Amino acid sequence: MATERIQLAVDTPCQQSWQEMTSTELGRFCAHCQKTVVDFSDLTDKQLIDLLAQSTGSTCGRFRLNQLNRAIQVPVPASPSPRRFFSLLTAGLLGYQTVQAETPPALTTPSTIQIDQNVTSTTELPANNETTLADSLRIITGRVIENTTNTSLAGVNVSLKGTSTEVLTDSAGHFQLQVPTEYQGEQIVIVVAMIGFTTQEIQRRPDQSEPLSIALNEDQKLLGEVIVVGGYKKLSFWQRLRNRLRSGQ
């Protein structure tokens, strides 16, 4: 059986947090754009291609970095069935597209996803400010860095799980998060999140007062609209139609 090479790419990675999406059968549902983001990250090449072939539009998905921008061999049957030929030709004349993100129950074109965060930025904090906070309030302080380079991370979202209390790290990676009165004597969970990095959750007891030192790891998975490329060149409309006819899919 003959084969053809295709390549998957995500030209514009999605800016929405995967952790904030609602779980669905195929992946997670993005409330911002009202679309399902399919989780391809645990699939083999064959499973990935088979699932994409079932799409009648473009697909937004979550991918491992090693699933993208490399050649994937796809089997091509010698001859298509006549019945499939006419159905695909009709679909092609109507403007068939290879990939596009789905909306339950139909697939629609994904729009650019913007993050709408209601957060309060912290002011610049000197390094020694973490130990001079008022004793009458329970305030969580700390610094966030990138794990491999130890560089400060600015704009990281630090929040109290289950509440709307959240702040952003300053240019030096420092933050201070005031715990609401009703949680002063309870064990809490601090959520540390930033696009492109793996989210961390840190438990904190009332008797713990030392500043947090948090190192974030780069997230090895991408969200976004997948683009299928054959022969390392973006396929034209007629090339996509020809390949579909050959495969009989």
CATH number reported for the structural domain that contains residue 157 in this entry: 2.60.40
Question: Rounded to two decimals, what is the model's pTM?
Answer: 0.41
The verdict on 77 and 27 lying in the same domain is yes
Residue 214 lies in a domain: no
Check residue 196 and give left, alpha or beta (phi > 0: left; psi -120 to 50: alpha): left
- pLDDT score of 238: 55
- pLDDT score of 216: 93
Tens of pLDDT, residue by residue, the chain (249 residues): 566 777 787 777 777 777 778 888 878 888 877 888 888 877 888 888 888 777 766 778 888 777 787 788 776 665 555 555 444 444 443 443 333 444 444 444 444 444 344 444 444 554 444 444 444 578 999 999 999 889 999 989 999 998 999 999 999 999 999 999 999 889 999 999 886 788 899 999 988 989 999 999 877 666 666 665 553 344 455 555 566 666 555
CA-wise closest residue to 204 among 158, 169, 136, 172: 158
Residue 16 lies in a domain: yes
Residue 242 lies in a domain: yes
Residue 57 lies in a domain: yes
- pLDDT score of 114: 42
Q: Which residue segment(s) compose the domain that 156 sits in?
A: 120-194
Alpha helices in the chain, H assignment, sequence order: 45-53, 82-93, 237-247
Residues 6+ apart with CB under 8 A from 72: 5, 6, 7, 8, 45, 48, 49
The verdict on 164 and 243 lying in the same domain is no
Instruction: Report which secondary-structure segment, H or E, holds 233.
Output: strand 233-234
Q: Number of folded domains in the chain?
A: 2
